[in-house]
Amino acid sequence: MENTILFKSKQEVEIVKEYPEPIMDVAQLAHVEILSPKPEETIKFFTEILGLELTDQKGNSVYLRAYEENYHHSLKVTESEKAGLGHAGWRARTPQALLRRVKEIEASGLGIGWIEGDLGHGPAYQFTTPDGHLMELFFDVEYLDASEDQKTVLLNRAQKRPESGVPVRRLDHINLMTPNPKENSDFLMDVLGFRLTEKIVNENKTLGTWLSISNIVHELAFMNDPSKSTGRLHHICYWYGVPQNLFDVADLCKENNIEIELGPRKHSISQAFCLYVYEPGGNRVELFGDAGYLIFDPTWKAPIWSDLQQVSDRGIGAGFTESYWNYGTPDVKAPVEVD
């Protein structure tokens, strides 16, 4: 036991060691924009198989949300020549928290600037990871009221459970590829207050990091990109919270020609029940069947896994595939040398 506080009397103690104050300014991953060369099929997958609801559209983009999400959208699908990440949208805890973080981002040199907003949210500050993944931070959001025929009996649910597909409940996290997971993680930890929850280090090379701004193991993970490409998306993840639903939706995927990459599987890292499929546009989509484990310990020491094989072997069910470690969107046929 580290002793940071010295007991003196019933009335008095003394702090003998201070801890850094954690940055709690970023509250949540609020939405993700993905790019799809086959937007109609992509939307059909998200609505008919995963039960998302189409809430809006504008230009080449369509907005969707899950039935337990009360903002305007958690997913924006934008038509594009290639699949990949459009951007990730984070919501700050307060307006002041937003401005505090913007100041730090600007100081880091990775800031882009403010935009007036988008359907469903107010002014947002755009920036990129060192690797070039586009992100934005905002506070003001539009809550979407359920229409009359979407009314639910549960006051804590945004709208009633859909009857089509095996409906997901909310956006969970994103996983980004980068040739340099450590540098990118450090940026998010130092500037935005993300906390490291697990990592993989092999021969001094960080191969993966799991980063959290809450009690779940991650809102964002970085995975090593062996192709040395930058800015690629590994996957986005939606959440069920119930393990069996993964087998139900996998059955539906098999029957509807949606390619399953791997799983259902119980991860070692995060301990989550998971399933990976490719949406028709080519982006990998993960589905989470439970909450894995939650972290409440404020001095959590991130476990360090020694290699990819260990990470694969210590889970339960299907092991990771070659594609899992290499494929991202946009797809790169040949490894791209960067520097």
- Report if residue 298 touches a copy of itself, rule: CB under 8 A: yes
Which range of residues in 180-188, 239-247, 278-286, 322-330 is near a copy of itself by CB under 8 A?
239-247
- Report if residue 339 touches a copy of itself, rule: CB under 8 A: no
Site string for a copy of itself, 176-195 (x = CB under 8 A): --------------------
Selected binder of a copy of itself within 31, 73, 133, 169 (CB under 8 A): 169
CB of 25 to a copy of itself, least distance (A): 10
Which range of residues in 111-119, 182-190, 224-232, 276-284 is near a copy of itself by CB under 8 A?
111-119
Contact (CB, 8 A) for 193 and 93: no
Q: Which is nearer to a copy of itself, 232 or 265 (CB)?
A: 265
Selected binder of a copy of itself within 221, 269, 274, 287 (CB under 8 A): 269
> Can you tell me the distance from the alpha carbon of 252 to that of 327, in angstroms, rounded to the nearest whole number?
23
- Report if residue 130 touches a copy of itself, rule: CB under 8 A: no
Contact (CB, 8 A) for 220 and 194: yes
> Can you tell me the distance from the alpha carbon of 136 to that of 125, in angstroms, rounded to the nearest whole number?
5
CB of 64 to a copy of itself, least distance (A): 17
Contact (CB, 8 A) for 329 and 226: no
Selected binder of a copy of itself within 57, 268, 308, 331 (CB under 8 A): 268
Site string for a copy of itself, 42-81 (x = CB under 8 A): ------xx------------------x-xx----------
Between CA 107 and CA 110, with CA 108 as vertex, the angle to 5 degrees is 115
Q: Which is nearer to a copy of itself, 81 or 149 (CB)?
A: 149
Contact (CB, 8 A) for 270 and 210: yes
Selected binder of a copy of itself within 45, 63, 139, 327 (CB under 8 A): 139
- Report if residue 148 touches a copy of itself, rule: CB under 8 A: no
Determine which helix (DSSP H) or strand (DSSP E) holds 263, and give its type and residue range. Answer: strand 260-266
Selected binder of a copy of itself within 81, 148, 155, 334 (CB under 8 A): 155
**What's the distance, Cα to Cα, between the start and end of the chain in Å?**
46
Residue 115 bridge partners (DSSP): 124
Alpha-carbon torsion angle 21, 136, 35, 286, nearest 10: 20
Nearest residue to 19 via CA among 296, 303, 300: 300
Characterize 285-319 residue by residue with b for buried, 16 or more Cβ atoms within 10 angstroms of its Cβ, and e for exposed: bbbbbbbbeebeeeeeebeebeebeebbeebeebe
